Structure 1
Amino acid sequence: MGQKLKCLVEQVTWVQVEPLFIEYYGHYFNKFKKRIKKKKIKRFAAIFEQLKVAYSEETSWRVKISKTRHEGAFFIDVSGLDGTLYREQDDFDFNLHGEYADKEVPFSLIFIPWRIWLGMRVEQSTLVFFSYEEILAHCLWEMTYYHNSIEDSC
């Protein structure tokens, strides 16, 4: 079983995460002037520091990160797993998608409160293929897509 996301946050510094965060997501800030871009990156640094002292809530959910290829391009998918199998979905069609029957359904975590994110265990496959710094860069981006603070995410 993987480590909790909160444990990863406690073991890594923003200085270690920032270069990867900029590598993966810096292009979203290119339209801004350098001064504003710097200010936005500082906001993520502040959020990262908030996560270090934030409360984590126990959960059975797990966070999974995977690199996916779609139409010739790679993208990173951050999703949550709770043990639900595709076959358990009301609209699952064995005739069309039988090979997925015993696979877990990945769920979006975008609207999940940060305290629950922090309590999630990181899927073992994620720990094998991504460094702690990469995991945190991707999770931070996903966590902050609609929320700018711990209070916003509740």
Structure 2
Amino acid sequence: MILNELMHNHTWETISVQFLKSYPEAKNNLEGYKMVFEKLKEMDPKSIAMAIVISKETDIIDGDYFIDVAGIYNHPKSLEEKYPQGIEFLPWCQWLGMEISKDSLINFSEPEILVHCFYEMTYVSLSEEDIQKAIHRER
């Protein structure tokens, strides 16, 4: 299942409840996340050879857990591509075209997967244009 299909299985009402449960600090930006959700529903997905992997990790310093969202190449061509990749700067249409890993679908509910993906893809900004500007500033 790709992220776009998962999105179309849900409404903002079901997602917003999970958003507040997973990320209570998002309360102040809930309207912004809703706008992102609506914008994503209108976008066409662009398939890429990566899958979204969501995992629960433990911080080695303080022992707290956190959710990690990364991409893994379906057919790695180098040693580096065998490891999870940061995907927060990918265009949103590519996020929509990525498969959700089987482990992620088993270990997380669909609303949880969506919320963790939205949180990661908007980590830099709630605007895709601002995210792309941030990439160009870093180069």
TM bin (shorter chain): 0.7 to 0.9
Task: Give me the whole-angstrom Cα distance separating, in 2, the residues matched to 1:26 and 1:151.
Answer: 26
TM-score w.r.t. the length of structure 1 is 0.76
Match of 1:44 in 2: 33
Structure 1's consecutive aligned runs of 4 or more residues displaced over 2 angstroms after TM superposition are: 147-154
| Cα drift, residue 149 of structure 1 | 3.1
Instruction: Please show how residues 54-65 of structure 1 align to structure 2 within 5 Å.
Output: 54-65=43-54
Partner of 1:84: 76
Q: Distance in 2 between matches of 1:136 and 1:23?
A: 13
Over the aligned positions, Cα root-mean-square deviation in angstroms equals 2.0
The 1:10–1:153 alpha-carbon spacing in structure 2 relative to 1, beyond 3 Å, is farther
* Unaligned residue ranges in structure 2 (runs of 5+): 133-139
Deviation of residue 58 (structure 1)? 1.3
Aligned amino acid, residue 127 of structure 1: L
Identical columns (%): 33
Distance 2:32 2:26 in 1: 14
**Given the two structures, how large is their TM-score scaled by the length of structure 2?**
0.83
* Equivalent-residue separation in structure 1 for 2:34 and 2:24 (angstroms): 14
CA displacement, residues 108-143 of structure 1 (integer Å, 9 cap, x when unaligned)? 111111000000000000000111100000000011
Higher deviation after alignment, 14-23 or 127-136: 14-23
Where does the alignment leave 5 or more consecutive residues of structure 1 unmatched?
Answer: 30-36, 90-102
Larger radius of gyration: 1
Query: Which residue pairs with 1:136 in the alignment?
Result: 114
Quote how far apart the aligned CAs of 1:151 are. Answer: 4.2
Judge conservation of contact 1:62–1:123 (CA < 8 Å) in 2.
yes
Residue 110 of structure 1 is aligned with which of 84, 88, 97? 88
Shift of the alpha carbon at 1:150?
A: 4.2
Quote the residue 1:27 is aligned against.
Answer: 25
Matched length? 129
Answer yes or no: is the 8 Å Cα contact 1:114–1:153 preserved in 2: no
Deviations along 1:7-61, one digit per CA (max 9) or x if unpaired, are: 00111111111121112222355xxxxxxx2xx2111111101111111101111
Q: Decide whether the 8 Å contact of 2:51 with 2:99 is kept in 1.
A: yes
